[in-house]
Amino acid sequence: MTIEEISDLLDREFPQIHDRGRVYEFASVEPGRAVVYFSANERHLRPGGTVSGPTLMELADLAAYVVILGHIGPVALAVTTNLNINFLRKPEQGRLVATCTLLKLGKRLAVTECGIAGESGELLAHATATYSIPPR
């Protein structure tokens, strides 16, 4: 799938993703890799000005979904079965970049790895995700 096709699918199947405005931008989808930008604003912050853990988990999960859809096509019912994340540094408000790679794509499971960096390029979080792919 192309970036435009993935964006259209998400708009159609998951309209709640843009509930309070568009904060995601799908930068690229290519074989084995996807890049998603996220603009963290005030509603994504914890006390002390750090982007919340659930927000980073959502970004990692979305980036994993995007790289998988880029390979398997419009399968809206592919679902996360596992997500593991390590928070490495304090993420500040602003633009975050999730770069997700596909480690394994099988008939029923897909495994991804995602790095989330800040504007400086410094790695803020590292996540792995496994998705279940429904039979076709």
Taking the chain (136 residues) in runs of 10, the rounded mean pLDDT of each run is: 89 81 86 92 78 91 95 91 94 89 96 94 96 91
The pLDDT assigned to 136 comes to: 76
The pLDDT assigned to 47 comes to: 83
Show Cβ contacts of residue 111 under 8 Å, excluding neighbours closer than 6 positions: 102, 103, 104, 128, 129, 130, 131
The pLDDT assigned to 11 comes to: 87
The pLDDT assigned to 19 comes to: 77
The pLDDT assigned to 18 comes to: 76
Task: At 50, list the tokens.
Answer: 């750090």
Class of domain 3-132 (CATH, top level): alpha beta
Per-domain boundaries in the chain = 3-132
Average pLDDT, the chain: 90
